[in-house]
Structures are given as C-alpha cells and as structure tokens.
C-alpha cells in the first residue's frame, strides 16, 4: 500500500468520520473534506481524531463547485501527496413531494450529491491513470436503488451516482483504476434519529437483520474496496442494507 493518500468528501459527518478513522487505522494518510460552513469545528474534529491515534487532516471546501474542488485537491497533493483513494461521501437532503419541491431544493441536492462526484473525480482521475493505480468509491443509497416518497431529488442524484460509476469504471479498468458504488440502507446516525419514532420503527420492521446499519458497516466495505488487492472489482454496486432491499 505504501502509505497511500485517501481523500474523503463529507468526511467529518457521522458516517464519514468512521470511514476516515478506519482508513487511517488501515494505514492510509487521510484527508477529510468538510463544507465551509463546518470550518470552525474542524480543529476540534482533528484533535478528537488525534486522541484516537489518527493524524487526519480536515479541509473546508465546497465540492459542489468545480473550481473549489480543484483548488482543494491541488492543496492536498502539494501538502500531503497524490490522491490514490477517493471516497465521494458528501450528501444532503432537501425533502419534499414533487408537487411542492422547489427548483432550489432540486438544484441544491443535485449539486452537493452528484455534481461533487464529478468535480472530485475529474480532478484526481488523470493522475490515477498516469500512476497506474486508483480506487474510487461513490456512496449512494438504498433510495437511489428503489426510490423514496418525497425524495425525487435525492433518489435521482443517488441513482445517477451508479451510472457515473459504471461509465468511469470502464475508462479506468485497463489502467488499474477501479470505481465502485456502495448503497447503504438506513444507518444509525443523526439523520435517522431525526425521523419520528413511529416511522423509524416501521422502517426497522422491514429490515431482515433486525437493526439499522452502523457507520462501521459502511467503513468496513470501503476499506475492502480500496485495498490494493481489490483490483478485480469495478463497476459494482454493493448493497449494505441488512437485506432491506435485494436486487
């Protein structure tokens, strides 16, 4: 592995933090990207990771903006090293039924959840091809596979992620660059805890393994997919959902 550099967008969130921690413990030099609105809390976040034994850099940048993403990646490559592993995990929700969804709600979700995937990948892909190694993992969602009431924007963005995965996987395959999707189900995080209790219990009742996912379930899959030894896995969509959706 030779101390490879891993860049994680959305890296300071509930799931992203665990992903960063697991990658660090697996031997990667990790950089977490957070939205600029989170800038003030990043020094504390870095200190918490350091106390856990992980030296992880956190940078504020809006990867929904191409130029901002390019500048952040250039800074990472100058100060840490070439990006070998990219985890596209940045995501937001702006839920509304189609009758009530505004153009702003649509565009905000597409920009953060899908445009950011292009913006990040476009700025690391050429370097990966040139070096003959790269691992890209796009974090989609069960709702990108099956759709969800009131989430046309989110479901469209997450479904679009895997179309992107399959196309770019074909471009990188002969050059040692793999691209895969992970589609988590409902994960025990602040997002699911914000759902009303009765709704949360009805969701839980539909999950065959009988529990919500844990951030570690997602992180473990990512560590597996980005390993040097995982070079024969590309263009795939991994359902990490406890059997909630099988296809």
Residue 134 and residue 125: Cα distance in Å, rounded? 8
Is 71 within 8 Å of 79 (Cβ atoms)?
Answer: no
Separation CA 143–CA 131 (nearest Å):
35
How many helices (H) and strands (E) are present in the chain, helices listed first?
A: 10, 7
Vertex 51 angle, CA 49 and 52, to 5°: 65
DSSP state of 150: T
Q: What number of other Cβ atoms are within 10 A of residue 241's Cβ?
A: 23
Q: Which of 28, 154, 186, 232 is catalytic?
A: 154
Is residue 154 annotated as a catalytic residue, yes or no?
Answer: yes
Catalytic residues: 154
């Amino acid at each position: 592995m030779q101390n490879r550099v891993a860049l994680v967008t959305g890296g300071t969130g509930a799931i992203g933090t665990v992903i960063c921690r697991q990658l660090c413990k697996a031997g990667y030099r990790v950089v977490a990207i957070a939205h600029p609105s989170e800038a003030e809390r990043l020094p504390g976040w870095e200190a918490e990771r350091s106390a856990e034994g992980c030296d992880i850099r956190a940078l504020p940048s809006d990867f929904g903006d191409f130029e901002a993403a390019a500048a952040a990646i250039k800074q990472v490559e100058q100060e840490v090293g070439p990006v070998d592993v990219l985890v596209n995990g940045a995501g937001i929700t702006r839920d509304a039924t189609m009758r009530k969804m505004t153009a702003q709600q649509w565009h905000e979700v597409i920009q953060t959840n899908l445009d950011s995937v292009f913006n990040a990948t476009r700025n690391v892909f050429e370097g990966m091809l040139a070096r003959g190694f790269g691992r890209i993992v796009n974090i989609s969602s069960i709702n990108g596979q099956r759709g969800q009431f009131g989430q046309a924007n989110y479901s469209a963005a997450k479904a679009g992620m895997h179309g992107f995965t399959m196309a770019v996987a074909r471009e990188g395959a002969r050059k040692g660059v793999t691209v895969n999707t992970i589609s988590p189900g409902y994960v025990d995080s602040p997002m699911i805890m914000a759902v009303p209790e009765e709704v949360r219990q009805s969701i839980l009742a539909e999950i065959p393994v009988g529990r919500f996912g844990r951030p570690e379930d997602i992180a473990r899959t990512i560590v597996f997919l980005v390993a040097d030894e995982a070079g024969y896995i590309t263009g795939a969509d991994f359902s990490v959902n406890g059997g909630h959706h099988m296809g």
